[in-house]
Amino acid sequence: MTKEAFRLTSPSGVELDLPVRSGTVGPDVIDVGKLYKEQRVFTYDPGFVSTGSCESDITYIDGEEGILMYRGYPVEQLAAHSSFIEVSYLLLHGELPTAAELEKFDHTIRTHTMLNEGMLNFFKGFRYDAHPMAMLSAVVGSMSAYYHSEMDASNPDHRDIFAHRILAKMPTIAAAAYKLTSGQPFMYPQNDLNYCENLLQMLFSVPAEPYEIDPIAAEALDLLFILHADHEQNCSTSTVRMAGSSGANPYSAIAAGVSALWGPAHGGANEAVLNMLNEIGDKSQIKKYVAKAKDKVDPFRLMGFGHRVYKNFDPRATIIREMCHKVLAQLGRDDTPMFDLALELEQMALKDDYFVEKKLYPNVDFYSGIIYRALGIPTSMFTVMFAIGRSVGWTAHWREMIADPSTRIARPRQLYTGPPQRDYIAIEKR
Ligand code: CMC
């Protein structure tokens, strides 16, 4: 929908009307596309704080109200009633599936879980202490070397096959990376198991003895994957769109997304939270660490606190917090002291003027690591788990971008602050 124009007046008094557009919900956007052509100026917005980079039908976030919706459905309802596979269908296809559509989709994902056997050789080349995220980004990128016969982005069937392969094979790649670091043999997928059961089996079973899947563990993983599945134009998703906008193959674009997710300001925060809680160690130390986080000269931040968009609460964190109680109570692991420490840290920060004034609340990553740890997943695998859940969001965005006729290569400009033109100086005169 086009609204009344936004009038911009330049310092020399020239007026320019910029189109204003409204989405279905959320703030309007000013279309600045013709600004440079007509006024020879760029907009400047480091970190893209006030910039919309595309049109999207997939996910909506209202950061002030703590609202997150996938294709219009509130995440609380999906978390309570849906499954990760159903949510994946919703994100990829735009509508909830019928029973028959869901069964077909689930079957397709279950029957694409194996990796080309040659890909397993990659893992033999990594050092035993390689970070699983390093292996994940490398092996996902290498999928383009194995599945290149169905990689034509202009072919909708190829786009479907790519989506199924990414969703189905991410857990297999993740588990292979874990098995390498733990020195255990790789376990093949078992397609009679559902998505999360299969992942648990590939992570924790060994050929020497039977492995019993804990239904609470599978339920908790499914919930975490629903909550991680998409988050509109976050850093890794924007990276996937940007890499894909050049026409790069979709596996390379997803590998770029995995790399962007790894950073501690983004998906790497779940690993950083656990490392931080271990470092704090004891409730008596909390005050000291809160003071460090507030100290301008100290680079320390409270990991798992703050969000670019959520300024009231992170709805995913509220849901995960509940699940933490359930998992710790039912699995009976010895992680309760760590959760107690996290809750006390949370309470102290929530009452602190610094965190209140800056609207810094616990985010999804503050609690997710506590669940992963209680499930026996090592800290270095936390961001890999996030990547498994987010891979469907990345894929949905890549598909949306490729199918959108208005997509152009993503190519931002800059404010140049280097030296103006100068003449080359011969080396003996420098
Ligand atoms: N601890 C202490 N101070 C903080 C924190 C924190 N966790 N987060 C932000 N601040 C302060 C920051 O110093 C700044 O203060 P000032 O205005 O005085 O300079 C102010 O709050 C605004 O911070 P910002 O870095 O400008 O905000 P941003 O929107 O660019 O960054 C963020 C958002 C999530 C990167 C940041 O809050 C952060 O580093 N948090 C810790 C890492 C984390 O938990 N990341 C996971 C995010 S949720 C999952 C995901 O996206 O993958």
Q: Does ligand 1 come within 6 angstroms of the Cβ of 265?
A: yes
Is the minimum distance from the CB of 349 to ligand 1 under 6 angstroms? no
CA nearest ligand 1 atom 44, residue:
304
CA-nearest residue, atom 49 of ligand 1? 266
How far is CA 229 from each of CA 106, 323, 362, 393, 397, rounded to the nearest angstrom? 16, 17, 19, 5, 11
Predicted local distance difference test score (pLDDT) of residue 337: 83
What pLDDT was estimated at residue 11? 80
Q: CB of 141 closer than 6 A to ligand 1? A: no
> pLDDT 10s digit of each residue in the chain, 430 long?
457 899 988 888 888 899 999 999 999 999 999 899 988 999 999 999 999 999 999 999 999 999 999 999 999 999 999 999 999 999 999 999 999 999 999 999 999 999 999 999 989 899 989 999 999 999 999 999 999 988 899 999 999 999 999 999 999 999 999 999 999 999 999 999 999 999 999 999 999 999 999 999 999 999 999 999 999 999 999 999 999 999 999 999 999 999 999 999 999 999 999 999 999 999 999 999 999 999 999 999 999 999 999 998 899 999 999 888 888 888 766 667 888 898 899 999 989 999 999 999 999 999 998 899 989 999 999 999 999 999 999 999 999 999 999 999 999 999 999 999 999 999 999 9
The pLDDT value recorded for residue 72 is 98
Query: At 7, is the secondary structure helix, strand, or coil?
Result: strand
Q: How confident is the model at residue 60, as a pLDDT?
A: 98
Q: Residue 30 is inside which H or E element, if any? A: strand 29-30
Centroid of ligand 1 to alpha carbon of 267 (angstroms)? 13
| 304 Cβ below 6 A of ligand 1 | yes
360 lines ligand 1 (CB under 6 A): yes
| CA nearest to 89, candidates 394, 391, 389, 396 | 396
The pLDDT of residue 180: 95
Distance 303 CA to ligand 1 centre (A): 8
Which is the catalytic residue, given 106, 314, 335, 365? 365
**Is the CB of 358 inside a 6 Å radius of any atom of ligand 1?**
yes
Q: Which atom of ligand 1 is nearest to the CA of 235?
A: 51
CA distances from 72 to 115, 232, 257, 267, 297 (A): 34, 12, 24, 24, 43
Sheet with strand 73-74: strands edge to edge: 59-62, 67-70, 73-74
In the prediction, which pLDDT does 129 show? Answer: 93
- Whose C-alpha lies nearest to ligand 1, atom 39? 265
**pLDDT computed for residue 291 by the predictor:** 95
Give me 369's structure tokens. 């690591």
Residues constituting the chain: 430
Nearest to 313, CA basis, from 236, 384, 367, 234:
367
Active site residue 307: yes
DSSP SS3 for 77: helix
Degrees (nearest 5) of the Cα angle 35, 38, 44? 25
Q: What DSSP letter does each residue of 109-169 carry, written as one string?
A: HHTT-PPPHHHHHHHHHS-TT--HHHHHHHHHHHHHHHSGGG--TT-HHHHHHHHHHHHHH
Distance 306 CA to ligand 1 centre (A): 5
User: How are the residues of the chain apportioned to helix, strand and coil, as percentages rounded to the nearest 5?
Assistant: 55, 5, 35
Is residue 293 lining ligand 1, measured as CB closer than 6 Å?
Answer: yes
Q: Do residues 96 and 72 touch, judged by C-beta distance below 8 A?
A: no
* Of 307, 314, 335, 397, catalytic: 307
Quick one: angle between helices 99-110 and 195-204, nearest 10?
Answer: 20
Q: How many CB atoms lie within 10 A of CB 3?
A: 12
